Structure 1
């Protein structure tokens, strides 16, 4: 899969995704300072699934009706890289066919899918 990891993913999450064979664009590495509008547009235009902890992307998708190829919103109590990786690993193992074109909220305890009307 192709993932665009927002700046809050740091370096560890993108590197782990790469080690799992995924193609990754990491904002923290390659586009620091890019604003949220540019992030979601880049993800859509270049066919990336966006991974972020920034709830503003929920507003962009559902209130502003921004198009996307998939958004994984991490709403975690434990924001450590190890926890993010563990939850992404579970998501990718359990729901691989449902990740593209869905808005997915991942918490420490559950995964919710919402198809936006882009």
Structure 2
């Protein structure tokens, strides 16, 4: 798959995706931040899925109806958890991403735009794993 990694998502996730064999461009490689609208246009023109922690892309896609090739939003996922979450999303929802899905992971939940009922069980299973991981991290912190 082809990805455009927003600078706020971090270099670690870009490096991990490259190591998995994906075609990855980081927005930081292209100079100063041009803004979300331009990033989304770049991604669309290059058939790339945007990975970000920024929630403004949702407004561009859902309210302003900007064309896109997919979006992964990780707005409240700690930097040290993003690779694990991304690996889980790719293992469970690659097809949806290839079909231009918008996937948001927030508050221990996964939302996929236009999720067919057949995928509801996969979403529930992924959310269960996230809750278990969060509970395990809390126990370690105690």
Contact 1:87 1:108 in 2 (8 A): no
TM-score, length basis structure 2:
0.74
Query: What residue number does 2:106 align with?
Result: 107
Aligned residues: 113
State the distance in 2 between where 1:64 and 1:73 align: 17
Kindly indicate whether residue 15 of structure 2 is the aligned counterpart of residue 7 of structure 1.
no
Answer yes or no: is the 8 Å Cα contact 1:73–1:104 preserved in 2: yes
> Where does structure 2 lack aligned partners over 5 or more consecutive residues?
115-142
How far the C-alpha of 1:87 sits from its partner, in A, is: 0.4
Question: Unmatched 5+ residue regions in structure 1?
Answer: none
Larger radius of gyration: 2
- The 3-state SS of whatever aligns with 1:69 is coil
The equivalent position to 1:96 in structure 2, one of 94, 97, 101, is 94
Equivalence map 1:50-65=2 (5 Å): 50-65=50-65
Give the 3-state SS of the residue equivalent to 1:94 in structure 2.
Answer: helix
CA distance, structure 2, for counterparts of residue 56 and residue 107 of structure 1? 14
Secondary structure of the 1:72 match is strand
RCO higher in 1 or 2 (8 Å CA, sep ≥ 6)?
A: 1
Residue 110 of structure 1 deviates from its aligned partner by: 2.3
CA RMSD of aligned residues (A): 1.3
The structure with the greater share of residues assigned to helix is: 2
